Structure 1
Amino acid sequence: MNILQQSSKAQDRTLGTWYVQVQSGTLKLPRFQRFEAWDRARVTGFLNTIIQNLPVGVTLLLQVGDKEQFISRYITSAPETGNRVTEHLLDGQQRLTAFWRSVHNNYEGETYFIYLPEFDAHPTDGIEYDEVTVHCQPRWAKKKEPGLRYPVWADSPARCLERGLVPVNLLCPGDHGVQLEKWIADATSELEPSDDAPDAVKLLRALEKRRQELRATLAMLRERVTHFNLPFLSLPATTSADVALQVFVNMNTNSKPLSMYDLTVAKVESEAGASLHAMQEATEAAYIELTHYGDVSWTLLTSAALMQGKMPNRGGVGAMGMATMVTAWPRVERALVRAAHFMARQHIYDEERLPSAPVVAVIAACFDKVPEHGDELGRAEQLLRAYMWSCFFTTRYEGAAATRAYQDYKALVELLERPHFGPADYAHVPVLRRVDYPLPTPEQLTRVGWPKGADRLARAVLAANLHFGALDFADGHPVSYESLRHREYHHIFPDALLQEVGINSYLALNCALVTWKTNRSIGRKDPLAYLRDRVEWADEDTVRQRLRTHLLDYDTLSQATYEADGEPLRGDALAARLRTDFDRFLESRAALVALAARYLAEGRVLTLEQLLREAKNAGGEPHEAALELDC
């Protein structure tokens, strides 16, 4: 029988049989399979399909002969028996994992129940369906109470049954009669009448009838689960690894399609006999800083693609030589680590504040061409600073990002491979051509929105404000990955104050990242009064110094007061003064940010003192009072 004949006819297999094979460890997953991907809704939907005895799609198996063709792993939470493997599950992992875990109810964040409407005596709990169905109950724990999960009632048989809920694990195939009887007894024990109750016999008979009804219902559902048909197609053990992988890719019927990463995992397994999952896990364990910048898997693949001269997109990743990538993995890893350290030195610490994601792979691939010491390193880092900040402050990657990143990368490498180059050569890189990609003007910066979202320019403004150390207003600690975990987005001119006269407060220039007090009661206040109430206030000179590291001027803010004769200004008087002050504040800070963007996009290493001096020499007024303080 050839492969076509063998695989074209689906064969029946009950969940009871699938259960035994997972339990015994004779059915395993080839390691290139992705990990669990189903959310609660998909698990619930699949369980409902079983309970309602509806048909499902087929699974795909590869028979295993004397030797496994792929290194394998057990289904999540299944016992690691060490028994001989007879089948590899190529497609159907999500369904069988959902089934196995739910009939053991071993999910940390949820517990699955069967809702039986005839047993629901708790009409106010919000759990109500029209028919027998699967109910997913979210669970959570509190730090002060380890080992206890909420809601607590979900672990009490009596409290569950009064809501019409029976845990799905009672439907587990096999001989679980003792467990089932114990649950029924625990769930109904509170209903047993006392011996001296006047109608004890009648009540006891009613209770026993109730128990029998529950047993019968559960017996019927257990039979339905055990004998539910999950059909499969089977490839014979003589199928080559390449063919099995191709069938896996073409046959995968999961409602969540295979990602490029999933496909690459399979190709690496096929072409290089290596596990991309294991390689990535080892990299992340050794270099935790790489996880700070988003999806490590995609960054690794796009960096590797660029290093092989391929586009940093699906097509380029798919066209890579996988064996070459495995051999070059230490280089890819080292290049990414260097890129992460480079960005951290620019005070770009995490994905949440990264203005443009494509730069990470480009910078990493460039570092693969750069020595780790000497003048060449200095020239390369200046070029890469200019590249990175130009990407942040221009529209270069707002369309066709992968294509443009590839073009920039090739141009950057051409410069890096020259024996000598300097700023006069930077226009060779498309993003560094100011005629094509101009930097924003101060006036444009005054209109940029709040940086908490994904807007590139808003995040770029914030990045420039963090670049000069951004000492925390409260504790004086400089910005770092760790300190950012505790900082929040703070309005300089309070939102409540600006709203009173209809001014938009959610602007990047009106934002700073600082640590707040737990007390969030603010109200309408002047900027410095608002700041004083939001943070642990230090002395004036200290706060003045901390503000300037955010490109903020203490004197400008101290003059922004809105009272007359001890009473707060209102109406037109408030609007006139506040609009003038706020516009002056935005223009002053925008001028500094624009100047910083200009120098950063030239690759210059700029101190705060130099920036303020340059602003003064340019004839502007921003922060002249701050110049009197020594950095």
Structure 2
Amino acid sequence: MSIMQQSSKAQDRPLGIWFQHIQQGQIKLPRFQRYEAWDKGRIVSFLNTVINNLPVGVTLALDVAGDEPFISRHIATAEVSTKVAVTQHLLDGQQRLTAFWRSMHNNYEWEMYFVYFPEFDQSNSADEFEKTIRCQKRWLNKHGNRMPLWTDEPEQCFVRGLVPVDLLCPGDIASKVDSWISQATKSLEPNDNDPDALKKYKVYTATRDKLKDEIVQLRERVRHFNLPYLSLPPDTSKDVALQVFINMNTNSKPLSLYDIIVAQIEEVADQSLHDLEDDLRAKCPKAARFGDVRNMILATSALLQEKIPNNRGMVEMNKQSLLDNWYKLERGLERMAELLECQGVFDEARLPTNAVLAVIAALYDLVPENGDFVAKAEKLLRSYLWSAFFTDRYENSASSRAYADFKALKELLSTPSFDFNDCVKVPVLNRDDYPLVGNDALMNAGWPKAMGIEARGILAVSSYFGAHDFADNKPISAANIVLREYHHIFPDALLSEAGIKSYYALNCALITWKTNRIIGRKDPLAYIKERVDLADEASVKDRLDTHLISYEQLSQAHYGQLTGDDLKQRLEADFNAFMRTRAMLVEKTVIELAAGKQPNIQSIWQHQETTA
């Protein structure tokens, strides 16, 4: 080949031919391709490009001759029943061609696409002067009917100037087009006995003909619209095709690291990471509560290969070993989720730091399912978990620090007879280097709904003992936590009136929305007692105890008609005392938890009473 010879040249291909090839099953997607990802905005933009005959980027295909080089799948909703020879694997352009294919069938579940013709809009509210694509969202009503109903009625669509985009579909659908036009314009056709029948009939036929002409013109434009492509020859090796796939990405949303590793695994093992991921989600449903499963897969796999759980470590890990470790990965992720749940951490929204997830999941490879060592090992894991929540170890450089902690913890767990005195070898457990946060830091931790390790850590501690709801007395759980809201114990309206900041983690409790919506400026205990048996103060106290909230302090917080400086002075003193008491309770609990212990609520309250 001459040095001046062109490496490749884009070839023209109209959408009509693309459609035919997809329909016949000649074009398929390699299994490693990510799934359909475009939202309605991207789809509308692409279809507008087509109907306005504007240029669009090239696609990339691998020519196939004989056996397919990769396991493949059809473009979404384009499955064909006949056995046909595949001639190309689409490496780039999936999103455009999927959007084209599905819109030409208008088979999206919750959206329907139309071409808007302003000249046919009878609503007198036309705010556009050019043909454009519109998306109409759909939904089911309580009777199971797909709404809005007018989208399925040609006449109602037409009076809005809307024509379903599937009428532009390539192929022989003339009868479908004529039928839709006939139904859409039926109301314009006059009765025979109408005195203005002739005049109205002329308007009717002119409108019908105009509508058909517009649709036919757009159909031709769509059919002949050029979507060019580059192709790799059929003798291209799999590794080269995969590398080209990774390097060439005309989609404005770049390939993620996960997408790249999916392709690399396909190369080395001819196995689908997508399929394994789906299987893992089914087997390990609890793990998915704590964040992006794909990131957990990659980070945990990196640690299992003793790689730093960052992009570089994930790229460098051996992809075959990732597959070989898959059972360890599944087992570790689900046991990690169970450990967090037992500690009162139920989901990603309440997780103080995700740096701990992969570390714990990977370490479970060294923890048997049963036996005496399980208790010892999990005590160490609990110590690690709470130390990560209540030191500044993971404020920065979380991946490299997680790796260092993992290595040290792994060394301990590799020797079942390890001594807990050796825990100082684990950086996060070394209290000289990483002391637990103190009382003052706890009092200044912000609102836990925002990101913040200490703030969410405090919320986790307040959930550890069950965090019984003020209204129904149900303990917090993975099932009901989504029904809980972030509630100010000293109401925000009350504190704001006195100019006191209210958004502190220590002033927060997770309770149900019905409890939370009726608070206002009331005294802290007043609204709580409204939600339970007023005569049973023991019940009120018991529920508050599970949140580490002092009943005695709230019972003394009465402000009546106090205003101005009198309110501020009294409220500020009470609020500060409440915050400091709760900080002491949390601090005592944290010390126990970070030592791997499992404190009970009675011992925490007894400690507070003896130190008060």
TM-score normalised to the size of structure 2? 0.95
| Count of paired positions | 610
Q: State the shift of 1:336 in Å.
A: 1.3
1:10-60: CA deviations, max 9, x gaps?
111111111111111221111100001111221111111111111111111
Which blocks of at least 5 consecutive residues in structure 2 are unaligned? none
% identical equivalent positions: 53
How far is 1:555 from its partner? 2.2
Query: 387-396 or 95-104: which moved more?
Result: 387-396
8 A Cα contact 1:26 1:83, kept in partner: no
Structure 1 residues 58 and 523 mapped into 2: Cα distance closer, same or farther (>3 Å)? same
Please list, as runs of the form range in 1=range in 2, the aligned pairs for 1:7-18 lying within 5 A after superposition: 8-18=8-18
Tell me, yes or no, if the aligned pair for 1:13 and 1:230 is still in contact at 8 Å. yes
Q: Is 1:578 aligned to residue 576 of structure 2? A: no
Q: 1:428 to 1:115 in 2, by over 3 A?
A: same
Aligned in 2, Cα 1:291/1:183: closer, same or farther, shift over 3 Å?
Answer: same
Whole-angstrom distance in 2 between the partners of 1:540 and 1:74 = 65
From 348, 353, 357, give the equivalent of 2:350. Answer: 353
Partner in structure 1 of residue 78 of structure 2: 78
Aligned amino acid, residue 173 of structure 1: P
Partner of 1:32: 32
Give the corresponding residue for 1:147: 145
Aligned to 2:174: 177
C-alpha distance after superposition, 1:446-484 (max 9, x if no partner): 222221222222111100100111122222222210021
Partner of residue 599, structure 1: 592
SS of equivalent residue, structure 1 residue 514: strand
Distance (Å, rounded) in 2 between the aligned partners of 1:15 and 1:22: 10
Amino acid at match of 1:114: V
CA apart distance, 1:420: 3.0
- Find out whether 1:107 has 2:104 as its counterpart: no
Measured against aligned partners, the alpha-carbon deviations of 1:417-464 in whole angstroms (never above 9, x if no partner) come to 234333322221112222332322222222222212222221111001
Match of 2:329 among 320, 329, 332: 332
Partners of 2:544 and 2:550 within 8 A in 1:
yes
Residues 537, 460 of structure 1: CA spacing in aligned structure 2 closer, same or farther, 3 A cutoff? farther
Q: Equivalences for 1:248-397 in 2 at 5 Å? A: 248-397=245-394
Alignment of 1:528-539 (within 5 A): 528-533=525-530, 539=536
From 470, 473, 484, give the equivalent of 2:470: 473
- Residue type matched to 1:128 in 2? D
1:537 CA drift (Å):
7.6
Map 1:420-431 to 2 at 5 A: 420-431=417-428
Cα offset, 1:532, TM superposition: 4.1
Change (3 A) 1:536 1:64: farther
The aligned counterpart of 1:628 is none
Deviates more, 1:450-459 or 1:225-234: 450-459
Once the 2 structures are TM-superposed, how far is the Cα of residue 172 of structure 1 from its aligned partner?
Answer: 0.9
Which stretches in structure 1 are left out of the alignment for 5+ residues? 622-631
Q: Give the CA deviation at 1:268.
A: 0.6
Q: Is residue 2:474 matched to residue 1:439?
A: no
Q: Given the superposition, is the C-alpha separation of residues 394 and 153 from structure 1 closer, same or farther in structure 2, using an over 3 Å criterion?
A: farther
Q: CA deviation at 1:188?
A: 2.0
Cα deviation, residue 82, structure 1? 4.3
1:246 aligns with 2:243: yes
Alignment-derived partner of residue 406 in structure 1: 403
Matched, 1:189 2:186: yes
Q: Which moved more, 1:251-260 or 1:377-386?
A: 377-386
- Which residue number corresponds to residue 624 of structure 1? none
Q: What does the per-residue CA deviation read over 1:571-608, in whole Å, with 9 as the maximum and x for residues that have no partner? A: 22222222221111111111111221222122211111
| Structure 2 CA distance for aligned equivalents of residues 213 and 157 of structure 1 | 16
Distance 1:192 1:610, change over 3 A: same
Q: Is the 8 A contact 2:485 2:513 kept in 1?
A: yes
Aligned equivalents of 1:228, 1:418: Cα separation in 2: 67
Give, in angstroms, the shift of residue 121 of structure 1: 2.4
Match for residue 589 of structure 1 among 575, 582, 586: 582
Distance 1:166 1:535 in 2: 58
- Write the distance in 2 (CA, Å) between the matches of 1:260 and 1:25: 30
Q: Are residue 116 (structure 1) and residue 117 (structure 2) matched?
A: yes
Q: Tell me how far 1:540 sits from its aligned partner.
A: 2.6
For 1:545, the equivalent position in structure 2 comes to 542
1:63 and 1:482 map into 2 onto residues whose CA distance is 50
> What's the offset of the Cα at 1:533?
4.8
Question: What is the deviation of 1:324?
Answer: 1.4
Cα distance in 2 for residues equivalent to 1:36 and 1:485: 29
SS of the residue 1:112 aligns to:
strand
Q: Which stretch shifts more, 151-160 or 109-118?
A: 151-160
Q: Are 2:612 and 1:612 aligned? A: no
Residues 157 and 186, structure 1, Cα contact 8 Å, conserved in 2: yes
1:479 alignment partner AA: I
Displacement of 1:189: 2.0
- Pick aligned residue for 2:520 from 513, 519, 523: 523
Shift of 1:504: 2.2
Find the counterpart in structure 2 of residue 68 from structure 1: 68
Measured in 1, the distance between the counterparts of 2:305 and 2:43 equals 40
> Using the alignment, how far apart are the partners of 1:148 and 1:534 within structure 2?
40
Query: Is 1:21 paired with 2:21?
Result: yes
